[in-house]
């Protein structure tokens, strides 16, 4: 049962990721990416990481991708990838390269098999993450806030028109 669900979701995830890189229209690409993020969130749910699933949807799908779609809408009219591509042969090399990379990673996974299953332990809820976040990872957490602040300032500086 769970395996079937997993494969269904995985199929959606892979298909939407492929859709992203195949479709010419960036809006379609962005919407495919949203689907992809949603299916990854579903997989988080299957991995019992409920907080992450919700955060994934809220942050990624709800905020980041909205930003993307917004930017595409602002920029795109008449600027799709059209016209001849001078670097087309080089680009097509990327496909076997990607395939090669995939094989490589999968080989690594096969060579190093997963450890044996253990009984369920830590809960994937907000409490466990919160506890870790504010004890072991307090310093990185604070660093993140500094990073966000820096990003905020940077974006404002970029977006503001020259006076």
Partner 1 sequence: MILLVPGSYYTGLSAVLFAIGVTGVLVRRNPLVIFMSIEVMLNAANLALVAFGAQFRNADGQVLVFFVMTVAAAEVAVGLAIIVAIFRLRPRLSVDDLSAMRW
Partner 2 sequence: MPGTLTDASIAFGLVTFVMLFVLNLGGLMTWIERKQAAIMQDRIGANRASIFGLRLMGLFHPLADAIKMLTKEAFYPARADRVLFSLAPFVSVFFALVAFASIPFGDTLSIAGREVPLQALTFNVGLLYVFAMLSLGVYGVMMAGWSSANNFALLGGQRAAALMITAEVAIGASIVGVVMVYGSLNLMDIVRGQGALLGGWLPMWGIITQPLAFVLFLTAGIAATKRIPFDMPEGESEIIGYFVEYSGMKFGLFVMADFLETVVIAGMTVSLFLGGWQVPYLGREGWAFPWGATIVLPRLPVALLQVAAFVFKLVVMIWFLMLIRWTLPRFRYDQAMRLGWLGLFPLSIANIVLTGGALLLWGPR
Binding site for partner 2 (CB under 8 A): 25, 27-28, 31, 34, 50-51, 53-55, 57-58, 61-63, 66-67, 69-70, 73-74, 125-126
- Shortest Å distance, C-beta 137 to partner 2: 19
Residue 66 contacts which entry, partner 2, partner 1, none (Cβ below 5-8 A, type-dependent): partner 2
Contact 36, 17 (CB under 8 A): yes
Q: Roughly how many angstroms between the first and final C-alpha of the chain, as a whole number?
A: 61
The backbone torsions φ and ψ at residue 47, rounded to the nearest 5 degrees and listed phi first, read -85, 10
CA 78, 80, 82: angle at the middle one, nearest 5?
Answer: 105
Taking the least distance from each CB to partner 2, the nearer of 107 and 148 is: 148
Taking the least distance from each CB to partner 1, the nearer of 2 and 163 is: 2
Interactions with partner 1, residue window 105-124 (CB under 8 A): 105-106, 109, 113-115, 117-124
C-alpha 113/C-alpha 41 separation (Å) is: 25
- Shortest Å distance, C-beta 94 to partner 2: 28
Q: Strands, E, within 5-153: which ranges?
A: none
- Shortest Å distance, C-beta 145 to partner 1: 9
- Shortest Å distance, C-beta 68 to partner 1: 6
Number of Cα atoms under 13 Å in the Cβ half of residue 118: 5
- The answer to the question of residue 8 lying near partner 1 (CB under 8 A) is no
Q: How far is CA 11 from the centre of its chain?
A: 16
Residue 1 contacts which entry, partner 2, partner 1, none (Cβ below 5-8 A, type-dependent): partner 1
């Amino acid at each position: 049962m769970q395996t079937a669900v997993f494969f269904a979701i995985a199929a959606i995830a892979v298909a939407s990721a492929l859709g992203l890189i195949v479709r010419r229209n960036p809006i379609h690409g962005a919407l495919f990416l949203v689907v992809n993020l949603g299916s990854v969130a579903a997989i988080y749910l299957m991995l019992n990481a409920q907080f992450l699933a919700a955060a994934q949807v809220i942050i990624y799908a709800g905020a980041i991708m909205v930003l993307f779609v917004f930017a595409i809408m602002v920029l795109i009219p008449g600027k799709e990838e059209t016209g001849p591509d001078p670097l087309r042969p080089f680009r097509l090399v990327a496909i076997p390269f990607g395939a090669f990379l995939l094989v490589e990673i999968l080989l690594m996974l096969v060579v190093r098999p997963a450890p044996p299953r253990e009984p369920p332990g830590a809960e994937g809820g907000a409490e466990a993450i919160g506890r870790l976040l504010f004890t072991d990872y307090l310093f990185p957490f604070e660093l993140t806030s500094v990073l966000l602040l820096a990003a905020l300032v940077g974006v404002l500086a970029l977006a503001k028109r020259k006076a």
